Structure 1
Amino acid sequence: MAKKASELVAVDIGGTHARFAIATMAKDGSITLGEPETLHTEDHASFQTAWEDFRERQGGTLPGAVSMAIAGPVGGEVIRFTNNPWIIRPALVREKLGVERYTIVNDFEAVAHAVARAPDEQFVHLTGPEGPLPATGRLTVLGPGTGLGVAHLYREPDGTYRVSATEGGHVDFAPLDQIEDAILARLRKRHTRVSAERVVSGPAISDIYQTLAALEGRAVHEEDDIAIWTRGMDGSDSLAAAAVDRFCMSLGSVAGDMALAHGAKGVVIAGGLGYRIRDTLLKSAFAERFRAKGRFAEMMAGIPVKLIVHPQPGLFGAAAAFTSEYPGKRK
């Protein structure tokens, strides 16, 4: 008799979007995602109402298991999101959602699970030695979105792996030149402490753009960060393009800092924003800034840096995290 596959609901919740998909897990360990549904967090009062919306879109019924990847710390009796007002009480998940089993992981913990399970062809080379990521040792995983997510995974020689969530995106921002000094000065007017996330995240492009405009004596209006990203990526605004390039430089600096802190043998850039700017990253000073660590520049040049191009690493990783927590219990 053929072994049956099982299903669960995979959820990836960020500051702006909540993505849902039905994940099918085969007995051989392979994971297949159904067509994702993307809901705006601002359109729903709570995670439960978003869940009910997705359930209705699926015909009124859902599998009896869920794995949630959440943008924020996941410990404690009440889970609060970093960049949206929802809360989740783990003790009530089974009752509120009508499921038997659940897993809750940090969003970049989930992405690290995806990195561990994704095949080599789902990575694009950015800098450092060519070839696959190291089969053993520690890898740093980070990515800009509404915030800046950071995690790391450790690959054992026997093929198993361990994942740890971090809040590395909240380390101090360290400027390297006069332009970044000016960006820091602008941000210090609003924030006593300026973290890396204030400069290396999607919304940060607005402050970078405004700083560059001020340095050139231009009067520009405050506007939505998406508009700046759009003009910067399509080349219709040279100042916005300069802001995007500056963003890539800062991302390289922070990625290098995380690799140093983790003792990483490889680095993976993840997240939807990283994927959208992949071509720009390759042409920018990202790689130069990644290596610019003084006495450790030679060591940094020996670290491979990749971009994961899996279309839904958060959802795929959430499902992988579930299989790690419930091995052999996927009936």
Structure 2
Amino acid sequence: MSKATQIVAVDVGGTHARFAIADLGADGSITLGEPTTLRTSDHAGFQTAWEDFRGQQGGALPNKVAMAVAAKIKPDLISFTNNPWIIRPPLISEKLGVTSQVVINDFAAVAHAAARAPADQFLHLAGPEEPLPETGTISVLGPGTGLGVAHFNRQSATHYHVQATEGGHGDFAPLDSIEDAILARLRRRHTRVSNERVVSGPAIVDIYQALAVMEGRAVHEKSDVEIWTAGVSGADSLAAAAVDRFCLALGSVAGDIALVQGASGVVIAGGLGYRIRETLVASGFETRFCAKGRFTSLMGSLPVKLITHPQPGLLGAAAAFAQTYL
């Protein structure tokens, strides 16, 4: 390949669809153009959103597309949990007028982004302050609406393989009496309590309410957004305690995933992780990550990073296209 290949990179979530023109260089570089963000609720389906973006780009788009979607990838029909759109992969070429396409799960795209992002787009969280290793398995997890988990295995600095997983649905394992109380509260509604019932954005409500009950306080109905805002700012001491408890649980789960996947490094991803980055660094996240009994010293040897790239879904979609075709 003698010159850059242009593609349309797309990241479709429940609330927003993000589009950008990406240049894939002959040297393996990926350059994203300025992203355009459209609300899914403003469009009848993906095709009308595509046409909106095409109009904003002057009426013409590259004939190659890479899509990251917040949905399970199926060969014939992809439906979303948090928006009414559907995508039929066999019809993408015809409907969008493209000759090449890649469609991957959104968290697989995040793992691709973690594999391709430069060192200066990572914030150090725990372990040795050194770059992620150039070989071995890197675990990637991101708390958001749920808990996304994936990993990639590096054979070299430029060759890697991404594997999406359902690791967020592993069993939650409490480590102290406070987490016992959180688990007991959740078990009233869920026979089996998975990690994402505790380590996800909406889970902060149950953590907050469990702490209120422990302290004999009235349980006020607050949204997850209200609790996160008050907790991160320190405006509400109970909300701040809930955020700290979340950080502890995230450390424990991240450590478990690293052990299960045989990781030589870990990446925390997602907007929520970035929002609480300062709290994570100052919290007991690292202590909990390493608290694995006979493997404590091993855990302490793993670099743990937070990816700070502003558009990991778009970067990851473009990286998946490059890996598939180039």
What TM-score bracket applies, with the shorter chain setting the length? over 0.9
CA distance in structure 1 between the partners assigned to 2:213 and 2:16 by the alignment: 32
User: Which letter does structure 2 place at the counterpart of 1:134?
Assistant: P
Counterpart of 2:246?
247
The answer (yes or no) to whether the contact 1:107–1:149 under 8 Å persists in 2 is no
Residue 128 of structure 1 and its aligned partner are, at CA, apart by 0.9
**Aligned 8 A contact 1:114 1:320 in 2:** yes
- Is the aligned partner of 1:257 residue 2:287? no
Query: Following the alignment from structure 1 to structure 2, what is the Cα–Cα distance between the partners of residues 44 and 213?
Result: 41
Q: Tell me whether 1:21 sits opposite 2:38 in the alignment.
A: no
Structure 2 Cα separation of the partners of residues 47 and 133 of structure 1: 36
2:177 aligned with 1:174 = no
Q: Return 212-221 or 230-239, whichever deviates more.
A: 212-221
Greater CA drift, 70-79 or 317-326: 70-79
The answer for the alignment partner of 1:319 in structure 2 is 318
Partner Cα separation in structure 2 for residue 82 and residue 298 of structure 1: 40
Compared with structure 1, are the counterparts of its residues 158 and 54 closer, same or farther at alpha carbon in structure 2 (3 Å cutoff)? closer
Q: 1:143 to 1:160 in 2, by over 3 A?
A: same
Q: Which residue of 1 aligns with 2:234?
A: 235
Q: 1:20, 1:37 within 8 Å by CA — same for their partners in 2?
A: yes
Aligned-residue offset at 1:53: 3.2
Deviation at 1:207, TM superposition (A): 1.6
Deviation at 1:195, TM superposition (A): 1.5
Distance 1:54 1:190 in 2: 42
Tell me the secondary structure at the aligned position of residue 99 of structure 1.
coil
Aligned-residue offset at 1:41? 3.3
What does residue 187 of structure 1 align with? Answer: 186
Instruction: Return the offset for 1:168.
Output: 1.0
| Equivalence for 1:125 | 124
Aligned residues with identical type, % of pairs = 70
Residue in structure 2 matched with residue 94 of structure 1 by the alignment: 93
The 2-side partners of 1:195 and 1:83 are apart by: 20
Mark the CA change 1:50 to 1:158 in structure 2 (over 3 Å): closer, same or farther: closer
What do the CA deviations read for 1:224-272 (whole angstroms, capped 9, x no partner)?
2112111111111111111111111111111111101100000011111
Q: Distance in 2 between matches of 1:281 and 1:70?
A: 28
Task: Give the match's secondary structure for 1:202.
Answer: coil
Measured against aligned partners, the alpha-carbon deviations of 1:174-226 in whole angstroms (never above 9, x if no partner) come to: 22122222222222233232221121111111121122112222224323211
Q: Which residue matches 2:291?
A: 292
- Could you give the per-residue CA deviations for residues 64-104 of structure 1, whole angstroms, max 9, x where no partner exists? 12111122321342223354443322112122223221101
Alpha-carbon distance change, 178 to 82 in structure 1, aligned in 2, over 3 angstroms: farther
Letter in 1 for 2:247: C
Number of positions where the alignment pairs a residue of Structure 1 with one of Structure 2 = 326
Q: Is the 8 A contact 1:16 1:146 kept in 2?
A: no
In 2, are the aligned partners of 1:83 and 1:147 still within 8 Å (CA)? no
Report which stretch shifted further, 230-239 or 53-62: 53-62
TM-score normalised over the length of structure 1: 0.92
In the alignment, residue 66 of structure 1 is paired with which amino acid?
A: V
Contact 1:31/1:319, CA 8 A, preserved across alignment: yes
Aligned Cα root-mean-square deviation (Å): 1.9
**Per the alignment, in what secondary structure is the counterpart of residue 218 of structure 1?**
coil
Report the more deviating stretch, 256-265 or 4-13.
4-13
* Equivalence map 1:137-156=2 (5 Å): 137-156=136-155
Distance 1:125 1:158 in 2: 19
Aligned to 1:11: 10
Letter in 1 for 2:291: A
Preserved contact between residue 46 and residue 87 of structure 1 (Cα < 8 Å): yes
1:49: Cα distance to partner? 3.3
* Cα drift, residue 44 of structure 1: 3.7
Q: Is the 8 A contact 2:75 2:90 kept in 1?
A: no
Give 1:37's aligned residue.
36
Unaligned runs of 5+ in 2: none
